[in-house]
Every structure is written in C-alpha cells, then in structure tokens.
Amino acid sequence: AQKKRAPSTVGVFSDQLEKQIHRELLLKDGLSQAIDKHQLSLVYQPIIDANDCQVVSFEALLRWRLNDEMIPPDEFISIAEQYGLIRRIGQWVLEQACQTASTWAQRHTIAICVNVSVAQLEDDDFVEIVSTALQNSQLAPELLHIEMTESVFTSDIGLLAEQIKALQDIGVKVSIDDFGTGYSSLSIMQDLAVNVVKIDRSFVQRIDTNGYAIITAVMHMARALNYSVVAEGIETQKQMQILRSLGVDYLQGYYFAKPLAIEQVEQLISSEQAPKLSAES
Ligand code: C2E
Ligand code: MG
Ligand code: MG
Ligand code: MG
C-alpha cells in the first residue's frame, strides 16, 4: 500500500521557507541602501587590562536600524556576505571607526578593534583600504586592531597568512575572534602569526565546568606562542576572578560595560586621567 503523504506538513514548511526567503530579500534590499540612508551606526564596547582595569581599547560593533527595527548583526552580516554587500559596508565601518578613534587618541592611548569578514580579508585591496582609512583619519596604525573570526579558516590559509603579515607590516594588530569555536583552532595557532586571541564567550560561560580546562590550555599555548589573550562575554564577578587567576591579559563583557553609544564613550574618556572601569560592581 502506498504511504499517505502529509501535505499539510509540506505546506507549513514551504510557508516558513517562503517567509524566510522574503525576509532575506527584504533585508538584502534594505542593506544595500543602509549607508546612503544613514541607518548604520557603531557602538563601542570597552576592553580592559585585567591587572588594573584600565580601558585599553574599544571594540566597534555595527548597528542597523531599519524603519523602527534594530536588526542584529548576527542576522544581517551573513546576508551582507552572501549578497556581496560586506565590502562596502566593511569599508564604511573601518573609515568610521578610525575617524572616531583618532579623536579619542588625542587624549588617551586607546585602540579600536574592528571586526572584519572573510570576504573583506580575501579582497586584494583590503590592506590598501585599511591604509587609506588610517591616512584619512590620521590614526596611528598601532591603535587599529583587526578582528577576524575563525570561520575564515575554511578559506585559503596561505592568502590569509599573507594578508595578516601585510597588515602587521603597516603596524596594524590582528586578533582571532571567537577562538575555539571553529573547526581548526590548533592549525590556526600553527599557521598564522596573529597578535591576539579572543577566547569565545561560550568557554567563559562554562568556566565552572569544562571551560576552565580549555581556557587553561589556551593560555599555555598563547604564552608559548607569544599571543595576548582577551576573554570576552564576562558577565559575573566570579568569571572575572577565575580569568584573572588564569593570567588572561584583557577582559571584556557586560560585567564591565555593554557596548556604548559614542556620547557615553566620550563621557568615559573625558577626564585627563586614563579611563578605568570598576571591577567591583
Ligand atoms: P563578536 O565580534 O564576537 O562580538 C561580541 C558580541 O557579543 C557582540 O554582539 C557583543 O555585543 C556581545 N557581548 C559582549 N559582551 C557580552 C556579554 O557579556 N554577554 C553577552 N551575552 N554578549 C556580549 P553583537 O554586537 O550583536 O555582534 C555580534 C557579532 O556580529 C560580532 O561578534 C561580530 O562577529 C559581528 N559583527 C558586529 N559588528 C561587525 C562589523 O562591523 N563587521 C563584521 N564583519 N562583523 C560584525
Ligand atoms: Mg569581535
Ligand atoms: Mg567574539
Ligand atoms: Mg562573533
């Protein structure tokens, strides 16, 4: 006997699929105009020195307001990548971040960390785009850190190594973001000479269990290979204390500060003294 099909299930599925495709196309169209319509902005999350809680840098995080909706970067970045929009958007982010950071640098030595996608890094012109952003803003290259995610390692490792070297040659620092979440963390350590490793939030969250051993191992490797280590996604005092005891160099997370609007950053760094964030609250 023939099996009965379940057309209603198929119907629901294609309904959902259709909705998803519709949303994707809507976002793609919106995104292609987002710069011209001034819908993009950056917020800045502090990164502090684990020893003295001084703010050493800010990570620029992209925000997109479409009509009255804030679309999260985890949703729109991948769409920008898929539809070839990330280069232009990424260039906008770089220009904007460098301009802003150069005004901060007039008072304090604070770096800016900028996230970049694989497609940007693989672009032949990427180093040129970075140089231009530095020139336009007069930001010292040492104050720019490029954060790339591990997913980049599904791509041509030789090309990436060259690009990283070229960035370092002009004085820019390079970080591996979300370290430990990709599939080839150890070969990254082996093949690429980056400056900074950012331990992914998921390990910090699980520091009471397996996270502890994993972070310990990362610390050993990072020390041996001469990388600085940032832990991201710190939300509790306990997490901070453990990470400090493990010798993590820099800390970032809601426990210290959420991503801030530019006015809030200016307030934080307005004093002549180097800005600090309390580790007590
Ligand atoms: P990421 O670079 O790993 O950034 C960290 C994310 O975790 C940010 O989310 C940040 O707001 C959030 N976060 C920070 N501290 C905490 C914490 O203590 N707890 C929790 N739960 N979350 C925390 P956001 O801003 O939504 O960005 C998500 C991702 O989107 C980023 O992850 C980055 O991969 C990507 N992204 C953001 N801006 C850009 C950009 O300008 N270009 C590119 N290519 N990607 C970007
Ligand atoms: Mg990042
Ligand atoms: Mg990260
Ligand atoms: Mg991420």
| Predicted local distance difference test score (pLDDT) of residue 74 | 95
Contact 114, 60 (CB under 8 A): yes
Q: How far is the CA of 60 from the centre of ligand 3 (A)?
A: 12
Contact 170, 199 (CB under 8 A): no
CA dist 67 and 70 (Å) reads 8
pLDDT at position 153 over 60: no
Closest C-alpha to ligand 1, atom 23: 233
Mutation pick for ligand 1 pocket among 75, 77, 196 (CB with most ligand atoms within 8 Å): 77
175 lines ligand 1 (CB under 6 A): no
pLDDT at position 132 over 90: yes
Q: How far is the CA of 74 from the centre of ligand 4 (A)?
A: 8
Tell me what the pLDDT averaged over the chain comes to. Answer: 92
Phi, psi of 192 (to 5 degrees): -120, 130
24 lines ligand 1 (CB under 6 A): no
User: From the CA of 59, which ligand is nearest?
Assistant: 2
User: From the CA of 63, which ligand is nearest?
Assistant: 1
Q: How far is the CA of 253 from the centre of ligand 2 (A)?
A: 12
| Predicted local distance difference test score (pLDDT) of residue 185 | 74
At 149, the pLDDT band (50, 70, 90 cuts) reads: confident
Q: How many CB atoms lie within 10 A of CB 66?
A: 16
Q: Which atom of ligand 1 is nearest to the CA of 116?
A: 44
Asked whether the whole model's pTM tops 0.90, one would answer: yes
Structure tokens at 196: 């900074």
Closest C-alpha to ligand 1, atom 46: 115
Residue 243's identity, in one-letter code, is L
pLDDT in tens, 73-101: 999 999 999 999 999 999 999 999 999 99
Residue range 103-114: mean pLDDT, rounded: 95
235 lines ligand 1 (CB under 6 A): yes
| Predicted local distance difference test score (pLDDT) of residue 190 | 82
178 lines ligand 1 (CB under 6 A): yes
pLDDT at position 139 over 90: yes
Residue range 8-23: mean pLDDT, rounded: 80
